[in-house]
Amino acid sequence: MELSSINGRTKLVGIIGWPVEHTLSPVMQNEAFKALGMNWRYLPFPTRPSDLPDAMRGIRALGIKGVNLTIPHKEAVLPLLDELSPAAKAIGAVNTVLVEPDGTLFGENTDALGFGEDLKAHGIDVAGKNALVLGAGGAARAVVYTLLEMGASVCVLNRSVDRAEMLAKEMAGKTSGEACAGRLDEIPQKAGWAYLVVNTTPVGMWPAVDASPWPEEVRFKPGQVAYDVIYRPQETLFMAHARKCGAKAVGGIGMLVRQGAAAFRLWTGKEPPLAVMEAAVKMSWGNE
Ligand code: NAP
């Protein structure tokens, strides 16, 4: 993809955040456009919180096709949008905006779509089964909503139990699913209950890779699945422990790539090249 190939027909998308320097999305999306020979580009737009309303008016005015939103804009953007998907509305966060041809700004939460699609890609069917979610932050909101929508019973365990209780109550109300809550140190009592355990805490994330939210003495059983939304490292201590116990372990790179792929599909209407996007993410780690 040479710069000289930018012309009057080039279509633009990008990411709005503050800061945006560390985002993997530009390399992932631009490699996808290149692989499909599309005349599209994806740029970072560093945007202060106070400038977000102007930025959203600006993308519409400039004919930008859509944007991703990252920290700290995912919740603040909601009142600036015209329409929300059911997932974005229930989760209360938007990470992808589509600018429709008439200028309508449509908000979607592709973290939820990406997680759901990745479960399916790994053959993990949660309908009618129990799922334990560790953590109650932003990623947990997308994960809990998706699991309840897919028919799982969910228990949220968090360091701050009040946050877990609020999340469980809110998402159960919005999905008519079943959710309970507890403290993170209740893992030993709850471990055997779950078919799927999802870690949504940052514990074990690079560079502090020698940590796990899961006590080493609590064993996984064969047939259980441990899913870590952390994507760096590709195998966390939590995953390694589950695998050693004979359980299935899945890392967060699939969710990351599939949330980007869902945004690509929404903006372009084309099927995204998943393998190219995954390779681009891994390559960018190698370049650090
Ligand atoms: P967040 O909103 O800050 O929430 C973090 C959660 O983890 C909170 O519930 C917090 O508990 C808990 N926590 C933090 N440090 C902890 C510790 N030392 N011990 C126990 N619990 C701890 O963060 P987030 O945006 O949800 O992100 C969480 C992780 O998900 C990050 O690693 C991020 O990279 C990853 N992620 C991955 C994807 C993907 O596509 N794969 C997408 C989104 C996020 P308290 O409530 O008690 O503070």
List domains and CATH numbers for the chain.
Answer: 3-108+254-286 (3.40.50.10860), 112-251 (3.40.50.720)
Query: Which protein residue has the closest C-alpha to ligand 1 atom 13?
Result: 201
Query: Which protein residue has the closest C-alpha to ligand 1 atom 39?
Result: 256
Residue 159's nearest CA partner among 220, 203, 105, 96 is 203
More confident residue, 237 or 288: 237
Q: What is the pTM of this model?
A: 0.96
The predicted structure's pLDDT at residue 2: 53
The DSSP secondary-structure symbol of 220 reads P
Question: How does the average pLDDT of the chain come out, rounded?
Answer: 96
Ligand 1: distance of its center to the CA of 271 in Å?
30
Residue 243's nearest CA partner among 202, 203, 197, 209 is 197
Q: pLDDT tens digits for 237-278?
A: 999 999 999 999 999 999 999 999 999 999 999 999 999 999
Rounded average pLDDT over 123-147: 97
The predicted structure's pLDDT at residue 285: 81
Whether 176 shows a pLDDT value over 90: the answer reads no
Confidence grade of residue 288 (pLDDT, cut at 50, 70, 90): low
Ligand 1: distance of its center to the CA of 198 in Å?
11
The DSSP secondary-structure symbol of 3 reads G
Alpha-carbon Rg for the chain, nearest whole angstrom, is 19
